[in-house]
């Protein structure tokens, strides 16, 4: 993977099993962190299924963060901590940012405009609690979902540009809004078959520069205009 100029990510879970029923990292955080580092992993997506109690969920996310740091390798730590907290309590984003590099707040993203729009609507609705915490070292994640096939688990991440579900205008909108939201930019398309239009959009230096603003400020919706449909 590294020889192709790409980064290597891996998936695990804070509980004893992943969401798909495979072995998780519970009670093996230090061993798993060392193993991932020895494999040259650059990013760990750490899910929260089968974690038991909220206390065990929090303990697991904290423990894996410390274990990753102990390896001495720079590994991006992608958490789903607030996503599992929200149904029961308001997440403490100050604490979450102390341990995680970015964190998921909402449901899985899919290769469709309705999915993208639902994430944008949710972000605007909850912006008072999430926008202020975003900044260097810690970011709100508009979702990084994993799909499990019979043989493989692979990421279907935030940017669905280059797949088949979005029109060109919708793809432009996703790229622009993810940049404004200071979201981590991960591609989820097949790099072997990407269209020239999608490639140009994903490599747009001006839009990426907005996303990579050194201040790291996430955009804030000031107003919303409703347009009536004319028949």
Same domain, yes or no: 4 and 117: no
Residue 16 has a pLDDT of 95
* pLDDT exceeds 50 at position 154: no
Range(s) of the domain holding residue 226: 109-128+146-230
169 catalytic, yes or no?
Answer: no
Number of domains in the chain: 2
In a domain, 58, yes or no: yes
Specify if 62 maps to a domain. yes
Mark whether 108 is an active-site residue.
yes
One domain for residues 114 and 200: yes
Q: Which of 30, 42, 108, 111 is catalytic?
A: 108
* Contact indicator for 47, 14 with CB cutoff of 8 Å: yes
Is the same domain home to 156 and 219?
yes
pLDDT > 70: percent of the chain: 91
CA dihedral angle for residue 58, residue 62, residue 64, residue 69, rounded to 10 degrees: 170
Would the pLDDT of 69 be above 80?
yes
Q: What is the mean pLDDT of residues 69-97?
A: 96
Is residue 63 one of the residues assigned to a domain?
A: yes
- pLDDT-derived band at 223, boundaries 50, 70, 90: confident
Do 100 and 201 have their domain in common? no
Predicted confidence band at 189 (pLDDT cuts at 50, 70, 90)? confident
- Are 78 and 155 part of one and the same domain? no
CB 106 within 8 A of CB 142: yes
- Looking at the fold, whether 98 and 167 belong to one and the same domain comes out as no
pLDDT in tens, 102-141: 999 987 787 888 989 999 999 999 999 999 999 999 999 9
- Is 133 among the domain residues? no
Q: Which of 13, 32, 47, 143 is catalytic?
A: 47
pLDDT single digits (tens) 83-92: 999 999 999 9
Q: Are residues 21 and 37 in the same domain?
A: yes
């Amino acid at each position: 993977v590294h020889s192709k100029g790409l980064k290597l990510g891996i998936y695990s879970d804070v509980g004893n099993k992943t969401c798909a029923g495979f072995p998780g990292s519970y009670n093996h955080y230090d061993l798993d962190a060392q193993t991932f580092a020895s494999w040259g992993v650059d990013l760990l997506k750490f899910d929260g299924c089968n974690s038991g109690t909220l206390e065990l969920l929090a303990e697991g996310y904290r423990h894996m963060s410390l274990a990753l740091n102990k390896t001495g390798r720079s590994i991006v730590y992608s958490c789903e901590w607030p996503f599992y907290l929200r149904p029961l309590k308001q997440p403490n984003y100050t604490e979450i940012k102390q341990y995680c590099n970015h964190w998921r707040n909402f449901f899985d993203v899919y290769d469709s405009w309705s999915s993208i729009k639902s994430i944008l609507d949710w972000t605007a609705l909850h912006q008072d609690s999430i926008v202020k915490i975003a900044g260097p070292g810690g970011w709100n994640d508009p979702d990084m979902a994993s799909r499990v096939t019979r043989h493989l688990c692979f990421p279907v991440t935030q940017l669905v540009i280059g797949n088949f579900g979005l029109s060109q205008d919708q793809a432009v909108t996703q790229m622009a809004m993810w940049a404004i939201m200071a979201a981590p930019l991960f591609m989820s398309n097949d790099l072997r078959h990407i269209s020239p239009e999608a490639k140009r959009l994903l490599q747009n230096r001006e839009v990426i520069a907005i996303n990579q603003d050194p201040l790291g400020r996430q955009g804030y919706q000031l107003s919303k205009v409703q347009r009536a449909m004319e028949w």
